[in-house]
A and B are shown apart, each in its own frame.
Chain A
Amino acid sequence: MKINLRKDLPRWLTLLGLLVFFVVAARGMETKDWVITLLRGLSVGSVTFLVASGFSLIFGLLDVLNMAHGTMFMIGAYISWTVYVRPDTFVDLLTPVLLLLSGFTLSAVWKRIARGLKQKANWLVILPWVGLIVGVAAMIYFLPRYPITIWDVGNYSQSPVTYSYLADQGLINLPPGLPFEEITPLAAVLGLLAASLLTAFGLTTFGARSQAAPPVSWKNLILFGLLTVTGVLTLVFNDPLTLFLTELNTTVLFAIALSVGVLAGVLLGSVMEATLIRPLYSRPIYQLMLTLGLSAIGIEVVRAIWGRPEFVMPKPSLFAGVGDGCPATSLADLWTNHCSTIMLFDGRIRVYNEIFIPLVGLIVLAGIWILLQRSRLGMIIRAGVQDREMVEALGINVQRVFNTVFAMGVGLAVLGGGLAAPSMGLSNAMGEALILNALIALAIGGLTNFPGAALGSLLVGLLQQVIIKYGAIGIPIPFTEIVFKPTPPLVPASTVLLMVFILLILPNGLLGKKE
């Protein structure tokens, strides 16, 4: 970036003003207070950044304001919780999910078959319909009869709240796995496989009849085989796998939970883009309505499955030590005792919330930065943000890039959710609060600007924490005796006001370029 002081004067003045504001704010606190505030700001900023960066990539490239992004964040938290606290449910769910997915990996085959049908006889066109109806019917028959050990939202002693509490105390006692009663395991596997194949056949051949079918490669078949075999193996080794996961070190389990969540998010994003968002590229404002509808549906689904009450996810063992030598005073102590807190400048700092989360945020920032600047995909994305039609004209399959970016964005949001779950707790409203934060951060930093997303998230996080801190200290107003204490509702208001001011000075945000 070329520095042109004269042209960018408002921008530099704004940045300077913000810097002065934070320095003055820090001068009003004790050293330990401002260190904690800074770290907490970084933590909130990192979580906001994980949501905002995906949102910004999607908006920049696809021109879709994905209002369901906050809901994806929330779903990510709940999925990670499930894998982390209830591995048995996760293992039980794995088989049907894998089997149902397997049919869709053969879409190339289905398209080919559909074309063949069309050439043979016109009436054969109804076959996809038949396949779809039979497939859905099979799904409706087999899925409810498939035994899945799950919690009970209505019963307090078996609700997620209780399981979380027990897991935190280390007393968790998973209920025994349900046996197959109405159907035999073999029938279940074959039924689900058939349902998947038929549904995939029906769905993929609808729009594809007129298009040229892609060649069938060995990759599709291998993927199909892999998914099916994994599904069946999970069913066969269900109990040992559950036992293995339960006895695993919680740090490793947490990593597994996060990666499962991200995988599920990527899959969800990819499916969402391909089925719901893609038909609406020509009608931008309707995407807003669609994603709002999706967001409402997502919240209802979460309420139905995990219930309304809030609960917390226990921290992984690496960050949960409270025994001898804790709180840690040095990094060596921290490493040997796995302390949950560390003393820094005489202030007590929670390792997971205030050190680990910002660290992950930084790693993700660096990773995406490298991806954007140094890879072919990143080059296409950067070009697409600038001029989509030109990229298309150069013969690049934009559709596939769109799908990848959408999936990536949702994956980032889900990762944020999984990370934030142990520190923020899980609630039905966590998504809405965060999407507002992310929107404000993006508006501050520049809507389609990736470094802007990071800067905006950081500013939002810092400002919120500074206001919260001054709510306790109070701001002495000069020349009077009054000490002004910002109340909690002022926390969101302050960020909103910052956004309005910055947008009025710089309509494109701090780092955004003029359109």
Chain B
Amino acid sequence: MVKDTSIPRHNFITRNQGLAITILVLALLPFVVGLFEGASPAQVWFNEGGTSKFIEGLAIEIFILAIFALSYDLLFGITGLLSLGHSMFFATGAYLTGILLKNFETPLGLTVLWVLGAAVINAIIFGLVLPRVKGITFALVTLGIASVFHIVIMSRELGELTGADVGLQRIPSPAFINPATERLRFYFLALAIMVFFFLVYKRFVSSPVGRVCVAIRENEGRALMLGYNTFVFKFAALTLSSITASVAGLIHALYQPIVSPNTAGLVYTIMALLVVLIGGVGTLNGALIGAAIYRLLDFGLRRYLGEMASFVNGTIYILIVLFLPYGIVGTWRLKSFDIRQGWKRLLEYFQKSK
């Protein structure tokens, strides 16, 4: 029997071709940047290349934002819950890590466990209001809860722990992943965590639970009618999302020596929303691409335009909204068939003319 080669084999690597290439590029990126600067890979390996170290730092920020945006995409894009209190999850992770490492000198492993526990508690708090309010009211209630959290963090009574409106400062990072001295290791760790969560999310979305979540987004009443207890599924998505966001906060606290109270504010939630909208709602890899574009754009504009940056930023968002209706990945998925057909026709045309 002849083996049919036209159908690609559906193993893990072929299905995630784009991801594999991305990981490869990102893994080689510091070394390539080092070469451009004249630093050998060995020097980069021992964190001696200046530019490559800087690029690594920027990339780490993108990874943190990507993990955060990914968690928001699960809640908003996949399950259809518009939450405006998402920054609370992130800030919980960041603040808890900072406080535990600085004031209680907890080992890192235990800190991670504490953060995960706090994330579950956060999810339960949001879960308590979940069955009562829907739609825009849910958004407002979550905004309210997060604002109270924000105000508590900013309050002077807790100033000894949280640093009030200045924020947590001088968080000691464990020596073996200290971003100042061991940045390459930190870079690979952050990359690994991002990829891990991305794969978990992809698996989640294609799992039965994830399919029900999509069904809830499309029509909650129908999902209820089919006999699903929608609350359980929404709560599952909420918990996973909360854990992910808290881990993003944890990496943020390890990477940045300072955690500002802004991380708990509405601004951070809006940032995640913007990233998801730029990338494409409910696409998962859109969150990663959106995070890269958002951070690079913000960084570039701030560097070259200074004061004008927000103005240009706002204009670009408006243009994206008006002309890229489904985000970058969403629009690509809609148009890729047409584009491929166009290429085919072009190639045929050239072949004929020869």
The answer to whether B20 has its CB under 8 Å from any CB of chain A is: no
Residues of A within 8 A of B318 (CB): 276, 290, 293-294, 297
Contact B134 A507 (CB under 8 A): yes
Contact B151 A292 (CB under 8 A): no
Contact B137 A508 (CB under 8 A): yes
Instruction: Scan residues 97-146 of chain B and give those whose CB is less than 8 A from a CB of chain A.
Output: 129, 132-134, 136-137, 140-141, 143-145
Within the complex, what minimum Cβ distance (angstroms) separates B136 from chain A? 7
Contact B133 A499 (CB under 8 A): no
The answer to whether A157 has its CB under 8 Å from any CB of chain B is: no
Partner of A496, one of B132, B136, B144, B307: B144
Q: How far is the CA of A304 from the CA of B305 in the complex (A)?
A: 14
Partner of A300, one of B137, B145, B154, B310: B310
Residues of B within 8 A of A489 (CB): 151, 154-155
The answer to whether B26 has its CB under 8 Å from any CB of chain A is: no
Q: How far is the CA of A489 from the CA of B310 in the complex (A)?
A: 27
Residues of A within 8 A of B133 (CB): 503-504, 507
Contact with B along A474-507 (1 / 0, CB 8 A): 0000000000000101101100110110011001
Contact A293 B129 (CB under 8 A): no
Contact A286 B137 (CB under 8 A): no
The answer to whether B270 has its CB under 8 Å from any CB of chain A is: yes
Partner of A299, one of B82, B151, B281, B310: B310
Contact with A along B151-169 (1 / 0, CB 8 A): 1001110000000000000
Residues of B within 8 A of A288 (CB): 273
Contact with B along A8-40 (1 / 0, CB 8 A): 000000000000000000000000000000000
**Given contact pairs A492-B151, A503-B140, A293 touches B145 in the complex (Cβ within 8 A):** no
Closest A residue to B309 by beta carbon equals A300
Instruction: Scan residues 248-280 of chain A and give those whose CB is less than 8 A from a CB of chain B.
Output: 276, 279-280
Total inter-chain residue pairs, C-beta < 8 Å: 101
The answer to whether B311 has its CB under 8 Å from any CB of chain A is: yes
Contact B314 A297 (CB under 8 A): yes
Residues of B within 8 A of A280 (CB): 321-322
Contact B144 A293 (CB under 8 A): no
The answer to whether A285 has its CB under 8 Å from any CB of chain B is: yes
The answer to whether A99 has its CB under 8 Å from any CB of chain B is: no
Partner of B321, one of A289, A301, A497: A289
Within the complex, what minimum Cβ distance (angstroms) separates B282 from chain A? 11
Contact with B along A354-381 (1 / 0, CB 8 A): 0000000000000000000000000000
Partner of B136, one of A276, A300, A447, A492: A447
Residues of A within 8 A of B270 (CB): 292
Residues of B within 8 A of A276 (CB): 318, 322
Within the complex, what minimum Cβ distance (angstroms) separates B59 from chain A? 25
Partner of A296, one of B307, B313, B322: B313
Residues of B within 8 A of A289 (CB): 273-274, 277, 317, 321
The answer to whether B315 has its CB under 8 Å from any CB of chain A is: yes
The answer to whether B148 has its CB under 8 Å from any CB of chain A is: yes
Closest A residue to B326 by beta carbon equals A283
Closest B residue to A299 by beta carbon equals B310
Residues of B within 8 A of A286 (CB): 277, 321, 325
Q: How far is the CA of A468 from the CA of B141 in the complex (A)?
A: 24
Q: How far is the CA of A331 from the CA of B47 in the complex (A)?
A: 78
The answer to whether B175 has its CB under 8 Å from any CB of chain A is: no
Q: How far is the CA of A304 from the CA of B314 in the complex (A)?
A: 15
Q: How far is the CA of A443 from the CA of B143 in the complex (A)?
A: 11
Instruction: Scan residues 311-331 of chain B and give those whose CB is less than 8 A from a CB of chain A.
Output: 311, 313-315, 317-318, 321-322, 325
The answer to whether B7 has its CB under 8 Å from any CB of chain A is: no
Within the complex, what minimum Cβ distance (angstroms) separates B161 from chain A? 16
Within the complex, what minimum Cβ distance (angstroms) separates A66 from chain B? 13
Closest B residue to A300 by beta carbon equals B311
Within the complex, what minimum Cβ distance (angstroms) separates A281 from chain B? 12
Closest B residue to A503 by beta carbon equals B141
Residues of A within 8 A of B314 (CB): 293-297, 300
The answer to whether A83 has its CB under 8 Å from any CB of chain B is: no
Residues of B within 8 A of A283 (CB): 325
The answer to whether A65 has its CB under 8 Å from any CB of chain B is: yes
How many chain B residues touch the partner (CB < 8 A)? 35
Closest B residue to A298 by beta carbon equals B314
The answer to whether B2 has its CB under 8 Å from any CB of chain A is: no
Q: How far is the CA of A151 from the CA of B10 in the complex (A)?
A: 68
Within the complex, what minimum Cβ distance (angstroms) separates A105 from chain B? 25
The answer to whether B21 has its CB under 8 Å from any CB of chain A is: no
Closest A residue to B145 by beta carbon equals A500
Contact A285 B277 (CB under 8 A): yes
Contact A496 B147 (CB under 8 A): yes
Residues of B within 8 A of A492 (CB): 147, 151
The answer to whether B308 has its CB under 8 Å from any CB of chain A is: yes
Q: How far is the CA of A442 from the CA of B270 in the complex (A)?
A: 20
The answer to whether A439 has its CB under 8 Å from any CB of chain B is: yes
**Given contact pairs A292-B270, A293-B315, A499 touches B144 in the complex (Cβ within 8 A):** yes
Closest A residue to B278 by beta carbon equals A289
**Given contact pairs A279-B322, A293-B314, A297-B311, A285 touches B144 in the complex (Cβ within 8 A):** no
Residues of B within 8 A of A290 (CB): 317-318, 321-322
Within the complex, what minimum Cβ distance (angstroms) separates B275 from chain A? 11
Partner of B129, one of A443, A493, A504: A504
Contact A293 B321 (CB under 8 A): yes
Instruction: Scan residues 283-319 of chain A and give those whose CB is less than 8 A from a CB of chain B.
Output: 283, 285-286, 288-290, 292-297, 299-301, 303-304
**Given contact pairs A286-B277, A289-B274, A507 touches B140 in the complex (Cβ within 8 A):** no
Residues of B within 8 A of A297 (CB): 310-311, 314-315, 318
Within the complex, what minimum Cβ distance (angstroms) separates A187 from chain B? 31
Closest A residue to B128 by beta carbon equals A504
Within the complex, what minimum Cβ distance (angstroms) separates B189 from chain A? 32
Contact B322 A507 (CB under 8 A): no
Residues of A within 8 A of B156 (CB): 487
**Given contact pairs A65-B136, A489-B155, A492-B147, A504 touches B141 in the complex (Cβ within 8 A):** yes
Closest A residue to B270 by beta carbon equals A292
Q: How far is the CA of A447 from the CA of B136 in the complex (A)?
A: 9
Within the complex, what minimum Cβ distance (angstroms) separates A509 from chain B? 8
Q: How far is the CA of A508 from the CA of B141 in the complex (A)?
A: 12
Q: How far is the CA of A276 from the CA of B320 in the complex (A)?
A: 12
Closest A residue to B316 by beta carbon equals A293
Most buried by A among B155, B308, B317: B317
Within the complex, what minimum Cβ distance (angstroms) separates B325 from chain A? 6
Contact B311 A497 (CB under 8 A): no
Q: How far is the CA of A296 from the CA of B147 in the complex (A)?
A: 21
Within the complex, what minimum Cβ distance (angstroms) separates A438 from chain B? 12
Q: How far is the CA of A293 from the CA of B274 in the complex (A)?
A: 10
Residues of B within 8 A of A447 (CB): 136-137
15 further A-B pairs in the complex, CB-CB below 8 A; given A288-B273, A297-B315: A286-B277, A290-B322, A293-B313, A293-B317, A295-B314, A296-B310, A300-B308, A493-B147, A493-B151, A497-B148, A499-B141, A500-B141, A500-B144, A507-B133, A507-B134
6 closest cross-chain pairs (CB), A and B: A296-B314, A300-B311, A293-B317, A297-B314, A500-B144, A293-B314
Q: Which B residues are closer than 8 A to A by beta carbons?
A: 82, 129, 132-134, 136-137, 140-141, 143-145, 147-148, 151, 154-156, 270, 273-274, 277, 281, 307-308, 310-311, 313-315, 317-318, 321-322, 325
Q: Can you sample 23 A-B contacts with CB below 8 Å?
A: A65-B136, A276-B322, A283-B325, A285-B281, A286-B321, A286-B325, A293-B313, A293-B321, A294-B318, A297-B318, A300-B308, A300-B314, A301-B311, A443-B137, A443-B140, A492-B151, A493-B147, A496-B147, A496-B151, A500-B129, A503-B141, A504-B129, A504-B141
